[in-house]
Amino acid sequence: MDMLMFQLQRQNSTPLYKQLYKEIKQAIISGKISVDTKLPSKRKLAEFLAISQTTVELAYGQLVAEGFIESRARKGFYAQPVEELAYLDMPQDEPLANERLEYRYDFNPGKIDTHSFPFSTWRKLSKDVLDEINHELLLTGHPQGDEALRHEISRYLFQSRGVVCSAEQIVIGSGTEQLMPLLIRLLDKTVVFGFENPGYPLTHSIFAHHDRKAVPISIEEDGINVMELEASEVDIAYVTPSHQFPTGSVLSATKRAQLLNWAAAKPERYIIEDDYDSEFRYTSRPIPALQSMDLSGRVIYISTFSKSLMPSLRLAYMVLPKRLLRAYQQTFLHYSSSVPRMDQQLVSEFMKEGHFSRHLNRMRKLYKKKLEHLTSLLLLFAPAVTVSGQQAGMHIVLTIQTSITERELVERAKHAGIRVFGLGSYDVEGKTVSPPQIVLGFGGLTEDEIEQGILQLMECWNIPLKKAVHPKR
């Protein structure tokens, strides 16, 4: 028993059985308890250390599971030989700081209205998919995604975005961040990528993570600066033409033609068109996708169901030009689709039965109503506050006439429990403009939350109200 005179700390937050386990483990590793030494019975050790037999049993059980001791029938527990280095305890790292603030009003542009999702329809279709005995759904399926879903996507894209493609050209993946690396690897390693600045931060990271040269191209009021693009060494341009993120600008018709002509000028050039939230346009009919104007097969179209259905679905797709399709199929011949087939089947049925189009119509009306309420509220603070980028999507940009910096505006909002984003945070060089600009998402908030959030936001920014606001009924 002398070798087991451990000092167990009863006031310690670590359970006693874990303390005992660690002490015996260390004694075996250090040789204090030699190989094949018999340990006391659970009852005797419990009495000796003045602890419960359950505590000893838990400690012994863990030691047996890890191979430090062996239980021999009708004989007891015996220490086992171990490789010393293999069992040295790693030093405990300090827990990472996790600044997860609970905001009262979160104007995150990535959030959607979760309360209006058609759960009953989704639940019924889920049950139908599971009830229909289809053994094929248990297998991996087509590497580009199920043909039924690709067919529905091709029909939807033609009707809503003017995109002309076959189901064969579509590749389904679990998000833009999964499809983009595949696309990058498909293209020659020597090509130079160009991306909008300010722009979508994830894209910047993907290029860097895959050791691809990428250069920022500035944004103007009517989209990407094509003259700057033409003067650069860029071969592949990543753009969000229908609703630029985060400025909200729309690529003009002139620039669309210029951009397509730029791509057609050299055989290695392509345009990656990210059409992330084109479903939601409020001031006119949806603008046709850039791909619909492409006659030379230079546009790679990418979109997702994150805004139209839900971010957690993790379902995106890209449309490859035919001259890239064969290269893709040869390069990724042995890859499997990263989206579960049950989910693919469910979305396919959701689209096929018309639920998707009806859902989009409802959400378009809902988001338009929220946007109108938001912009009418902001009019009460003009001319100190002006709005841009409200033609489409689920975010707008505020320009604030103030001497306060963009960073200070964001910090003041944060201390007031309101989450907003400075336009400069999307700039790879961290540049900010004067007057400061703030990106404001509205999709995940109710109209009442929008109203209260805006009033408190302006109060913490010391922006006066022109006239009283009547509470929404």
Write the pLDDT tens digit of every residue in 329-348: 999 878 888 899 999 999 99
What CATH architecture applies to the domain 105-110+365-460? Alpha-Beta Complex (3.90)
What are all long-range contacts of 220-223, with beta carbons under 8 Å and residues at least 24 apart? 220/249, 221/249, 222/249, 222/250, 222/251, 222/252, 222/254, 222/255, 223/249, 223/250, 223/251, 223/252, 223/255
CA distance 37 to 252: 82
More confident residue, 2 or 8: 8
pLDDT at 209: 85
Task: Dump strand ranges (E) for 355-447.
Answer: 385-388, 395-400, 418-419, 421-422, 437-441
Average pLDDT over residues 13-35: 87
Helices (H), 380-445: 406-415
Domain ranges within the chain, ordered by starting residue = 2-87, 105-110+365-460, 117-353
- The token pair that represents 239 in the structure block: 């753009």
Predicted TM-score (pTM) of the model is 0.77
Task: Give every CB contact of residue 471 below 8 A, 6+ residues apart in sequence.
Answer: 451
Q: Is 238 a residue whose pLDDT tops 90?
A: yes
Position 88 confidence tier, pLDDT thresholds 50, 70, 90: very low
At 111-123, the pLDDT tens digits run 999 999 999 999 9
Average pLDDT over residues 271-279: 89
Amino acid at 139: L
pLDDT at 17: 87
Q: Is the peptide bond before 383 cis (omega within 30 degrees of 0)?
A: yes
Matching fold, domains 2-87 and 105-110+365-460: no
Task: Give every CB contact of residue 447 below 8 A, 6+ residues apart in sequence.
Answer: 369, 370, 373, 472
Fold classified for 2-87: Arc Repressor Mutant, subunit A (1.10.10)
Position 288 confidence tier, pLDDT thresholds 50, 70, 90: confident
CA distance 243 to 201: 16
Percent of the chain with pLDDT over 90: 61
pLDDT at 230: 95
CA dihedral over 193, 195, 200, 201, signed as positive or negative: positive
Measured in residues, the chain has a length of 473
- The token pair that represents 327 in the structure block: 């290269």
Position 145 confidence tier, pLDDT thresholds 50, 70, 90: very high
CA dihedral over 157, 163, 164, 167, signed as positive or negative: negative
Which helix H or strand E contains 455, and what residues bound it?
A: helix 447-460
Residue 145 phi, psi dihedral angles, 5° rounding: 110, 160
pLDDT at 89: 52
Q: Does domain 117-353 match CATH 3.30.70.580?
A: no
- The token pair that represents 268 in the structure block: 């290695």
